[in-house]
Amino acid sequence: MWQRKELSVEILRCGAHIIALGPKHLFYPMKRVHEDGEGVRTEVLAIHEDADTEAFRLLEKVRRVHKRVRENGKNRLKFEAEQAATRKVPLVALGDSSAKWVGASPMCERRWVIRDHLSNLAVAHPEIFHDIGGILSGDQVNAVRDICAVLSDWRQAANVMQSDHPEFWSASAFLPVMMTLKVGMDRSHYKVLSAADPKVKITMARESLHPIAQRVLAKLKEQVDTNWHHVEACQGLLELCTACDPRWRLHFWGHEDQEQHDALRPERESIKGRLIEHT
C-alpha cells in the first residue's frame, strides 16, 4: 500500500473531495453528535460550528421560497403567470442539493433574476408564503447576489475537479486550482449580477459587498488556508504533475482573469525555476 510519507498518493486522489467539501458546511446542515444529560449520544443535523448563522439561514430561506413555487402545481402556474408579461419562456425557481453544493450558486443567481416576479407573486398571493415568513427583503436579495459572486471561484474549482475524468488529471489540476483559490480570496474586486440586466455582470469593490457576503468570504479564505497543508505535503510532486500535463503548462486555471494572472505570475516563475533546477 502506498504511504503518505512517500508519495502522498492519498492527497492526490482526494483533491476533488477536498474542493467539493470546502464551502459545503457553510450552507447545509451537517451531522453532529448530540449528548444529553444522561450521556446518551445521538446523531442530529445541525448548523456547523464554523458557519455564519445569518448566511446559513438566508440560503435556507431561498430554498424554502423556491420550493414553494416549484413543487406545488398551483403555485407554479401562478408564478408562470406573473412572468408571462415579460418572458416568453418562464423561469423555474431553481433548487439545490447538499450532495453537490455548487447548485447553491445557480440557485442564488436565479433568485436575483426572478426577484421582481417573486415580489409581485407575494403581493398578489401572500397566502403562498405566509407560513414560511414571506419572501426575502430587498437587502437580503442583495446579500444573496453578493454571496453568489464570492462563490464564483469555488464553483469553478469544484466543476474543474469534478470533471468527467478526474482520475486522469486530479493530480495535475489540484495545485493550480488551489493556488487560484488562494489568490481569489484576496482579490480586490468581484463581478456581481447587474440590476438592470441580469445577463451582465458589473465590477464591485470587495469592501462594497454586503456584510453577510464579506463574512462568507472570510470563512472561505479560512478554508483555503486550512486546506493548504494538503499542497505543502507534496508540492514538489504536484508541481511535476502540473508541468507534465499539456492542458496546464504552468499557465494555471483562472489565467483569463488578469488580476489573478498577475498575482500568480511570481509563483509560476518560482515553480518553473525549481523544475529546471531538478531536471
What are the pLDDT digits (tens) for 241-277? 777 777 666 555 444 556 666 666 666 667 667 666 6
* Alpha-carbon gap, residue 36 to 40, rounded angstroms: 6
Give the pLDDT confidence score for residue 252 in this predicted structure.
Answer: 54
- How far apart (Å, rounded) are the C-alpha atoms in residues 219 and 185? 10
Does pLDDT of 211 surpass 50? Answer: yes
Q: Quick check: is 175 in a domain? A: no
Q: What is the pLDDT of residue 3?
A: 40
Q: What is the pLDDT of residue 226?
A: 83
Region 67-85 average pLDDT:
92
Cell of 98: 447538499
pLDDT of 79: 94
Q: Which of 22-31, 64-73, 91-100, 150-159 has the highest mean pLDDT?
A: 64-73
Side chain identity at 48, as an amino acid letter?
H
For residue range 158-179, list pLDDT tens digits in order: 877 776 554 446 677 788 888 8
Mean pLDDT computed over every residue of the chain: 80
Spatial distance between the Cα atoms of 19 and 166, rounded to a whole number of angstroms: 12
pLDDT more than 70, % of the chain: 77
Is residue 200 assigned to a domain? no
The Cα 250–Cα 157 span in angstroms is 17
Look at residue 235 and tell me if it is in a domain.
Answer: no
Flag whether 109 is in a domain.
yes
56/219 Cα distance (integer angstroms)? 12
Residue at 179 is within a domain? no
Question: Is the residue at 222 inside a domain?
Answer: no
* Among 85-99, 132-146, 159-173, 181-195, the range of highest mean pLDDT: 132-146
The Cα–Cα gap between 58 and 65 comes to: 11
Which pLDDT score, from 0 to 100, does residue 256 have?
52
Bridge partners of 34? 42
Most confident of 4-18, 212-226, 263-277: 212-226
User: For residue 272, how many other CB atoms are within 10 A of its CB?
Assistant: 13
Query: Domain range for residue 74?
Result: 24-35+44-150
In a domain, 64, yes or no: yes
Least confident window among 31-35, 61-65, 108-112, 192-196: 31-35
Domain tally, the chain: 1
Q: Which contiguous run of DSSP H or E holds residue 249?
A: none
Which one is predicted more confidently, 93 or 46? 93
**Residue 6 pLDDT class (50, 70, 90 cuts):** very low
Cell of 148: 453568489
Q: Which percentage of the chain shows pLDDT scores above 90? A: 35
Enumerate residues 6+ apart whose C-beta is below 8 A from 96.
63, 103, 104, 106, 107
Q: What is the pLDDT of residue 277?
A: 64
The answer to whether the beta carbons of residues 216 and 150 sit under 8 Å apart is yes
DSSP 100: B
State the DSSP string of 55-93. Answer: HHHHHHHHHHHHHHHHS-HHHHHHHHHHHTTT-SSPPP-
CA angle 153, 171, 220 (to 5 degrees): 30
Contact between residue 184 and residue 153 where contact means Cβ atoms under 8 Å apart: yes
116 within a domain of the structure (yes/no): yes
pTM score, whole prediction: 0.81
